A and B are shown apart, each in its own frame.
Chain A
Amino acid sequence: MIKLEHVSKSYQLGDTEVKAVKDVSLTIKEKEFIGIMGSSGSGKSTLMHIIGLLESPTSGKVFVEGKDVSKLSDDDLSRIRNKTVGFVFQSFNLINRFTVLENVLLPTKYSKDGVDFDVNVKAEELLKRFGIYERRNFFPNKISGGQQQRVAIARALMMSPKIILADEPTGNLDSKTGSEIIGILSSLNSDFGVTVVLVTHEHDIAAKAKRRIYIKDGEISQKYI
């Protein structure tokens, strides 16, 4: 469903050009659970941002469901992010001035085609599923890290995306909470058929993924099938 062809990304850092991603070609199929592994600075996060259409590549092409995204406008890219992609970040990235429930509802505000479900019912269902319904009127900075990451997953699922992109989702959590979060992500894949791309530097977490890709210095170094 997402295909990268010879994708490179470079930044201008002062006078030097930093190549974060070098000539990566990659196909993510529907209902896959892929782990992208690499040490910090390897370019794995940049790669995830390109997959999630948050950044555009310097060269190469990205196809989402067969469409070349380089030809899409900001509105179209935003629409795909809204409907098709759900993000889970290391630092949760919740809006602290909104309550848990408001955070989960946020993507529905940007749905341009409207939604065919009751947003409040769905938000409450998700919060109940992840055991944070009682915290729905709390502000994110008043709940634990594990709970915040569940809120972030609930938000990512709000628009029923086809793919969840998780960037070091356990990075700010202790190992027990971290493995709970990974459990949630893998059940999304196995029980609900959501494609999951999990970016991590931890081998035991990547081990949960059905396919693993190793990134080193911006390049794919090994593929496991």
Chain B
Amino acid sequence: MEKLVKNISDLVKDALSDFARSKVRTALTSLGIMIGVLSVVLLIALGLGLKNYIEGQFQSMGANLVLVLPGSGFTGEGGGGFGGQGTIGGAKFDERDVASLKRLSELDYVVPVFMKGTTIESADEKKFGYIMGFNEEGFKLMNIEAEAGELFTRSDVSAASKVGVLGNTAAEKLFGGSGEAIGKVVRFEGQRFKVIGVAKKKGDSEPDNAFFVPYKTTFGSINPDKTFWGIYLGVADESMIDPAKKKVEETLLKKYDAEDFSVTEQSELLNSINQIFGIINSVLIAIGSISLLVGGIGIMNIMFATVTERTKEVGIRRAVGATQKDILLQFLTESLILSVFGGLMGFILASIIVLVVRIFFPASINLFSVVITLVISSAIGIFFGVFPARRAAKLPPIEAIRYE
């Protein structure tokens, strides 16, 4: 054991002494691996960040949420567009659907949701935002609370009052603060609405940039068809999700074909989205891996040069008793150190970049990236090092020793 440790430390010392003599070459060789690892780790970090971000958005909506969406949802092709009007085929839900769902005892809340992206204007400012039409229960379902003013009520909905609640970011941009926005007027699509409340910040760009209005108020020039892009349903607790889904499907099947709508719970949606991200991530990592491959070839190239340069040394070592295996290990150690060094540098650089990016975007580095870095860079070192090292080991001693 002690001998093994000594052998390894000798190998590493030998390798390092050679690197110390050719610093520039060592740095350049490692650079290839560094860039490869950097790109792979960064892509993983950004992918993870994006995933966390979207999961966060979902969690900011209430739990025990069941979504009724047109088309076959996210699980299949031709799914209704998320965040749009769901116009790509499928059902267009209307007030009659809402009414029939309201009759189901399994559901606590039935919230029709109308959504449209548009430019919202105050007296002095303009901002892109979302008009979200729903009923007063929507606030509970989406965990929206008032920071200033108040939320609209059931009577506002039935009266189709021209009032609304502004998202926090939108209020900040349009009026310079949540308090300042109360009682003011916003305009969009030729309509004027009074701001009666400003929502607390959710940290989620859609609701924070939204203007929530009673859904009935949108009927007219904004939503002439009187349809909804989806219906959000709330159930009392998790155990109710499955029976509720079943009932909802039964109810809607009376009117629509099975492929015209989908009833999904949040976790299903999340799974589908995670699947999509899994694919995107794999593609990105595959692209990053190309630079790792190129880096590995760089190492192989340099190691071949090193072997040629040190042919005489190999001969001398063989003459004093080095076995082929000793020589093989010597050169493998060098390529391994080169690539692991490059890998670590790439990882450190990626961590620094992620720390900076975090200010704007929730990128994150996890244990997986660390493991990937070490495993990939060692694998490259061994894989691309083994050919040059074998050439060195197989050199006939006497020819090697005569080599000048």
Q: Which residues in A have some Cβ–Cβ distance to B below 8 Å?
A: 49, 52, 54-55, 74-75, 78-79, 81-83, 87, 89, 93-95, 97-98, 106-107, 109-112, 114, 155, 159
Q: Mark B302-340, 1 if CB is under 8 A from A, else 0.
A: 000000000011011111111111100000000000000
Chain B residues lying within 8 Å of A49, measured Cβ to Cβ, are 398
Q: Which of B319, B322, B401 has the most C-beta atoms of chain A within 10 angstroms of its own C-beta? A: B319
A and B contact pairs by CB, cutoff 8 A, 5 listed: A54-B319, A81-B318, A81-B320, A95-B317, A109-B7
Alpha-carbon gap, A112 to B320, bound state (A): 12
Is A78 touching B398 in the complex (CB atoms < 8 A)? no
**Closest B residue by C-beta to A52:** B319
Q: Is B96 an interface residue (CB 8 A)?
A: no
Is B321 touching A81 in the complex (CB atoms < 8 A)? yes
Is B323 touching A78 in the complex (CB atoms < 8 A)? yes
A8 nearest CB across to chain B (Å): 16
Q: Which of B312-371 contact A (CB under 8 A)?
A: 312-313, 315-326
Q: How many A-B residue pairs have C-beta atoms within 8 angstroms? Tell me.
A: 65
Known: A93-B312, A97-B17, A114-B3. A87 touches B398 (CB 8 A): no
**Closest B residue by C-beta to A158:** B320
Q: Is B21 an interface residue (CB 8 A)?
A: yes
Report, as a range, how many residues of chain B touch the other chain.
20 to 34
9 closest pairs, A vs B, by CB?
Answer: A82-B321, A110-B321, A78-B323, A107-B320, A54-B398, A110-B322, A81-B321, A54-B397, A93-B316
Chain B residues lying within 8 Å of A94, measured Cβ to Cβ, are 316
Chain A residues lying within 8 Å of B321, measured Cβ to Cβ, are 78-79, 81-83, 107, 110-111, 159
Q: Which of B9-25 contact A (CB under 8 A)?
A: 10, 17-18, 21
**Closest A residue by C-beta to B7:** A109
Is A55 touching B326 in the complex (CB atoms < 8 A)? no
* 8 Å CB contact of B18 from A52, A78, A97: A97
Is B316 touching A110 in the complex (CB atoms < 8 A)? no
Alpha-carbon gap, A83 to B321, bound state (A): 8
Is A87 touching B319 in the complex (CB atoms < 8 A)? yes
Is B320 touching A97 in the complex (CB atoms < 8 A)? no
**Closest A residue by C-beta to B394:** A74
A50 nearest CB across to chain B (Å): 10
Is A89 touching B401 in the complex (CB atoms < 8 A)? yes
**Closest B residue by C-beta to A95:** B313
Alpha-carbon gap, A71 to B324, bound state (A): 17
**Closest B residue by C-beta to A87:** B319
Alpha-carbon gap, A106 to B318, bound state (A): 11
* 8 Å CB contact of B323 from A54, A74, A87, A114: A74
Alpha-carbon gap, A76 to B397, bound state (A): 15
Is A95 touching B316 in the complex (CB atoms < 8 A)? yes
Alpha-carbon gap, A2 to B247, bound state (A): 96
Is B318 touching A109 in the complex (CB atoms < 8 A)? no
Chain B residues lying within 8 Å of A109, measured Cβ to Cβ, are 7, 10, 322
Chain A residues lying within 8 Å of B322, measured Cβ to Cβ, are 78, 109-110
Chain A residues lying within 8 Å of B316, measured Cβ to Cβ, are 93-95, 106
**Closest A residue by C-beta to B319:** A87
Chain A residues lying within 8 Å of B323, measured Cβ to Cβ, are 74-75, 78-79, 110, 112
A12 nearest CB across to chain B (Å): 13
Chain A residues lying within 8 Å of B21, measured Cβ to Cβ, are 97
Alpha-carbon gap, A49 to B21, bound state (A): 32
Is A155 touching B397 in the complex (CB atoms < 8 A)? no
**Closest B residue by C-beta to A77:** B323
Chain B residues lying within 8 Å of A112, measured Cβ to Cβ, are 323
Alpha-carbon gap, A94 to B401, bound state (A): 10
Is B320 touching A155 in the complex (CB atoms < 8 A)? yes
Chain A residues lying within 8 Å of B319, measured Cβ to Cβ, are 52, 54, 81, 87, 93
B201 nearest CB across to chain A (Å): 63
**Closest B residue by C-beta to A83:** B321
**Closest A residue by C-beta to B323:** A78
Alpha-carbon gap, A79 to B318, bound state (A): 10
Known: A54-B398, A75-B325. A110 touches B320 (CB 8 A): yes
A107 nearest CB across to chain B (Å): 4
Alpha-carbon gap, A97 to B16, bound state (A): 12
Is B324 touching A55 in the complex (CB atoms < 8 A)? no
**Closest A residue by C-beta to B11:** A109
Chain B residues lying within 8 Å of A98, measured Cβ to Cβ, are 17
**Closest A residue by C-beta to B321:** A82
Chain B residues lying within 8 Å of A78, measured Cβ to Cβ, are 318, 321-324, 326
Chain A residues lying within 8 Å of B315, measured Cβ to Cβ, are 93
Chain A residues lying within 8 Å of B7, measured Cβ to Cβ, are 109
Alpha-carbon gap, A174 to B21, bound state (A): 32
Alpha-carbon gap, A75 to B112, bound state (A): 80
Chain A residues lying within 8 Å of B397, measured Cβ to Cβ, are 54-55
Alpha-carbon gap, A82 to B324, bound state (A): 13
Is B317 touching A93 in the complex (CB atoms < 8 A)? no
Is A87 touching B320 in the complex (CB atoms < 8 A)? yes
Taking A75-B325, A78-B321 as known contacts, 6 extra A-B pairs with beta carbons closer than 8 A to each other, sorted by chain A number, are A52-B319, A54-B318, A81-B320, A93-B316, A95-B316, A109-B7
Q: Mark B389-402, 1 if CB is under 8 A from A, else 0.
A: 00000001110010
Chain B residues lying within 8 Å of A114, measured Cβ to Cβ, are 3
Chain A residues lying within 8 Å of B325, measured Cβ to Cβ, are 75
